[in-house]
Structure 1
Amino acid sequence: MLAISYLRVVKVNFFQVKTPTMSDGIDEKLRNRSLPRKVDREPLDNDSTHQISVHTRQGHNRVISESILPLLLCLTCPLLVRSIVFISDHCHGSIIEYLQRVSFDQTITFKDFLEDFFYFEWHWPSALILLSVFVYSIIMTALLPGKEYSGPITDTGHVPVYRNNGFIYYIVSLIIFALLTSLLKLNNLSPTYIYDHWKDFLSTVNTFAFFLCFLVMIKGKYMPSTNDYRSSSNWLMDFYRGVELYPRIFNVDIKLITNCRYGMLAWALLSVIFCMKTFELYGYTDSALVTCLLTLVYLTKFFWWESGYMKTIDIIVDRAGFYLCWGCLVWVSGIYTLPSYFLVQHPTQLGPVLTAIILLLGFLAIYINYDCDRQKIEVRSTHGKCLVWGKPAEIIRAKYILLNGNESESILLTSGYWSISRHFHYIPELTLAFLWTCPCGFKYILPYGYIIMLFILLIHRAHRDDQKCRLKYGQAWKKYCELVPWKVWPGIY
């Protein structure tokens, strides 16, 4: 308790980062431009802020939703990631065989289960790779050139500022990886070492991610970077959901690093490593190449559009906790790479015709997904004064009130792709996930675990976004829903 009291009083400098040096002037300009009037309103305390948060589950049992469920997810998610690796490596990709070995054959004892599946291990070679990539991502993000841009203004009036160098970061990282691979090959080494020690690597990342989430939670409770934080007496919920919306340590944006600069880059590099391992074992394998190429092109699109991602629900709503940070560090590495990892042990040959069809459909899905985002970004950057599919953009100007009492405005696009459904861009994303998974064949359901989980995630996200916007925009959102009635699939949902 003395230590906590000391932290409250001292406010150590390297944690006390309210993004002053880079964003204070921009914050003031944006507030003056986009917030024309002040609404008289009583100041909100932290409990009130919690109640009007989009995460509030009205009518739900708080013990279940804020204690039991977070605890189960924190325990079972690492177990699920570890189980998937075990099934792929030791059960021929069969979930049924895995369940038999655990429950019926007893080849895996309860002691083995606890030791091998609820794992917190520190494998030093893996830790060296992990920490090197993490430090590299921080340094390169700070050093690479890029124009500054602002994220959406928060409910407290804060405007986050970033440097638009994600695409350069991605390309430079791929080039460095290619050079390092060549250097390793000259010395009879290979980055496929990571595949050979995949269990150890995941265990190390898992341990690091839990530590980072705990550190960010403590930092958010006692030394928040901005006023956009929500601390409570429920430490379990704060650990799972997060405390701060925009935490920074040494002016390093934690969410930018974990979500994009480590998580998404790791997805790309691991896909290449798993493809290389498949080639090392079997020679040229078109299925592994198709999955790898589609993943790389998709992630190239992601980093090209990274500034748009920093304005999505992941960043502007979800706080930095287990749900987001652990997910980007461990879940992305263990689940998103599953099709590539599965093909190492279960390669297939597609043939030139099927290879060409899957690639063409995949590139088309990536383009449509990108074009959806491009339409929205262009409309917002031009304040609705642009063409969409050759016609003037149709928009709704939705005004809303921030928690500090100021008024702001958003633009809701009702033409182009966004006239088909409110989240039409999820359709090409799910289609693409199927296309880079189908080279695994249809004998086992395991490699389709990613697309199943992505489907659940996106449907849940569409529901959350609808709730958030309904509360935020009121009648404007109701009018928008009348014009665009479908959330994702026209005629279905």
Structure 2
Amino acid sequence: MPNQSEDKFKHKKSVDLTTDHNDISHQLSIHTRQGHNKFWSESIFPLILCFSCPFFVRSIVFICGHCHGSIIEFFSRLFFDQTMTLKHVLENFFYFQWHWPSVIIIISFLIYAIVMTMILPGEEYAGPITDTGHVPIYRNNGFIYYIVSLIIFILLTIVLKLNHLSPTYIYDHWEEFLSTVNTFAFLLCFFVMLKGKYMPSTDDHRSSSNWLTDFYRGVELYPRIFNIDIKLITNCRYGMLSWALLSSIFCMKTFELHGYTDSALVTCLLTLVYLTKFFWWESGYMKTMDIIVDRAGFYLCWGCLVWVSGLYTLPSYFLVTHPNKLGPVLTIIILTLGFLSIYINYDCDQQKIDVRSSNGQCKVWGKPAQIIRAKYVLLNGKQSESILLASGYWAISRHFHYIPELALAFLWSCPCGFHYILPYIYFIFLYILLMHRAHRDDQKCRLKYGIAWDKYCQVVRWKVWPGIY
């Protein structure tokens, strides 16, 4: 059979491979964390991350505002100069503040996101079927939501300016805002964990006796309240939109303090265009690992509410206190390369969407699409199928779309200059995250598709970087 399948792939550009229906190892492995030290992986590691991540985000803001952007100065003040007492550290980095103006902004924003998600028009579409046979349904109104939100933000800014106010109030109280959203995110994660344990929305939930594990990793895969998808709201409608609005606010603040600054404008423009592409493709994002594998817990929900706000906006935030002059030539070069990276990233995703929507009956780069049809068995015993694309960008590497995404992250960070490493922390983090995600996805797909995935890896050899990884 393997020889016949190989022949079929070579001549017809398609192969149909089926995993052994009696082999449920992929099912068990998807739902069970493997590890030599369960206590470390399920208790100590989550505890360290839940404790250190808020400290890390607050530290970055502190370094920008109080240490002239220098990490060395921060550690010097923290450990050697003794200018920061334990009380000062606790108050500035670990204390769960509740800044009422920030509370009003956050709650209003969430209510807005929920209401607009419910009322804006859009065709319904289905997410990937889960191992229990559940098919999540969404409304495709993300792009309309994004455009309407930007228009409302512009109008609100005009109204505030006419009354001698500014949305840059958020920048002026950024430390209090981050502390507040951090507190809110912890409360939300705890609530989502309880809901998953005692009132799950679907059969796709996994609860344990270890509450720390459940808090960090989450319990439910698709939690909903009054048919509102929590992950859609936290990941897209709050997290990604807040990234766009905060980048705009920080750019405005830079202009208020220093006048026109080309570096701030370049970073802001690339961010906004990238997020325009994201919301245009939101239905595709709802079929990625963030949604179909990661559950609603601290890792995902806190990350989208706090980590995105504090870390992803860092280049724009850094430029407020460290403006940099690029000049017209560098501005044009960076913008051109940035827009090209966004297009390639979009085109990669579009190729996969076109192939799957046509059931593989289409052309990629002028040639018939090379695909592998990978069948697998759900936990309920039913058979399902995925199409693995081995043409176009996806013939270069299995995660080629990560390359333009990393290039873009570097391009909107480089206007900050190269005197400080701090504004490149997002790029460094994204590199580690995407390489780890490529590894995780490879493991998941090998367990899920079995021999079909092995065949796919023979055709598309590299995970991300051709010739390297």
Q: TM-score, normalised by structure 2?
A: 0.94
Q: Deviations for 1:376-397, whole angstroms, at most 9, x for unmatched residues?
A: 0110010000110000000000
Q: Which residue of 1 aligns with 2:253?
A: 277
SS at match of 1:54: helix
- 2:361 corresponds, among 385, 390, 396, to 385
Alpha-carbon separation, structure 1, partners of 2:197 and 2:22? 26
Alpha-carbon separation, structure 2, partners of 1:165 and 1:98? 44
Q: Which residue of 1 aligns with 2:176?
A: 200
Q: Alpha-carbon deviation of 1:57?
A: 4.0
- Describe how 1:314-463 pairs up with structure 2 within 5 A: 314-463=290-439
The answer as to whether partners of 1:66 and 1:237 remain within 8 angstroms in 2 is yes
Counterpart residue type for residue 67 of structure 1: S
Q: Deviations for 1:100-120, whole angstroms, at most 9, x for unmatched residues?
A: 000000001122112211121
- Given the alignment of the two structures, is residue 177 of structure 1 paired with residue 177 of structure 2, yes or no? no
The answer as to whether partners of 2:21 and 2:377 remain within 8 angstroms in 1 is no
Q: Which residue of 2 aligns with 1:229?
A: 205
Determine what percentage of the aligned residue pairs are the same residue.
79
The answer as to whether partners of 1:71 and 1:236 remain within 8 angstroms in 2 is yes
Alpha-carbon separation, structure 1, partners of 2:389 and 2:204? 27
Alpha-carbon separation, structure 1, partners of 2:334 and 2:182? 34
The answer as to whether partners of 2:29 and 2:447 remain within 8 angstroms in 1 is no
Alpha-carbon separation, structure 2, partners of 1:192 and 1:266? 14
Counterpart residue type for residue 189 of structure 2: C
Q: Alpha-carbon deviation of 1:250?
A: 1.3
- Given the alignment of the two structures, is residue 81 of structure 1 paired with residue 57 of structure 2, yes or no? yes
- Given the alignment of the two structures, is residue 96 of structure 1 paired with residue 72 of structure 2, yes or no? yes
Q: Alpha-carbon deviation of 1:368?
A: 0.1
Alpha-carbon separation, structure 1, partners of 2:335 and 2:47? 41
Q: Alpha-carbon deviation of 1:436?
A: 0.2
SS at match of 2:42: helix
Q: Which range moved further: 157-166 or 54-63? A: 54-63
Alpha-carbon separation, structure 1, partners of 2:69 and 2:326? 19
Counterpart residue type for residue 218 of structure 1: L
Alpha-carbon separation, structure 1, partners of 2:154 and 2:300? 29
Q: Alpha-carbon deviation of 1:316?
A: 0.3
SS at match of 1:152: coil
- Given the alignment of the two structures, is residue 165 of structure 1 paired with residue 165 of structure 2, yes or no? no
Residues 488 and 374 of structure 1: is their aligned pair in 2 closer, same or farther, counting only changes over 3 Å? same
The unaligned stretches of length 5 or more in structure 1 are 1-38
The answer as to whether partners of 1:291 and 1:340 remain within 8 angstroms in 2 is yes
How many residues matched?
451
Q: Alpha-carbon deviation of 1:56?
A: 3.7
Alpha-carbon separation, structure 1, partners of 2:33 and 2:435? 17
Q: TM-score, normalised by structure 1?
A: 0.90
Alpha-carbon separation, structure 2, partners of 1:338 and 1:55? 35
Alpha-carbon separation, structure 2, partners of 1:251 and 1:305? 22
- 1:140 corresponds, among 109, 116, 124, to 116
- Given the alignment of the two structures, is residue 299 of structure 1 paired with residue 275 of structure 2, yes or no? yes
Q: Alpha-carbon deviation of 1:40?
A: 9.0
Q: Alpha-carbon deviation of 1:59?
A: 3.8
Q: Which residue of 1 aligns with 2:266?
A: 290
Alpha-carbon separation, structure 2, partners of 1:243 and 1:412? 29
Alpha-carbon separation, structure 1, partners of 2:429 and 2:297? 20
Q: Which residue of 2 aligns with 1:484?
A: 460
SS at match of 1:236: helix
- Describe how 1:16-31 pairs up with structure 2 within 5 A: none
CA RMSD of aligned residues (A): 1.6
- Describe how 1:8-157 pairs up with structure 2 within 5 A: 52-54=28-30, 56-157=32-133
Alpha-carbon separation, structure 1, partners of 2:319 and 2:392? 38
Residues 361 and 193 of structure 1: is their aligned pair in 2 closer, same or farther, counting only changes over 3 Å? same
Alpha-carbon separation, structure 2, partners of 1:362 and 1:56? 40
Q: Deviations for 1:444-482, whole angstroms, at most 9, x for unmatched residues?
A: 000000000000100110011001000000000000000
The answer as to whether partners of 2:267 and 2:316 remain within 8 angstroms in 1 is yes
Counterpart residue type for residue 449 of structure 2: Y
The answer as to whether partners of 2:35 and 2:41 remain within 8 angstroms in 1 is no
- Given the alignment of the two structures, is residue 219 of structure 1 paired with residue 195 of structure 2, yes or no? yes
The answer as to whether partners of 1:54 and 1:467 remain within 8 angstroms in 2 is no
The answer as to whether partners of 1:41 and 1:405 remain within 8 angstroms in 2 is no
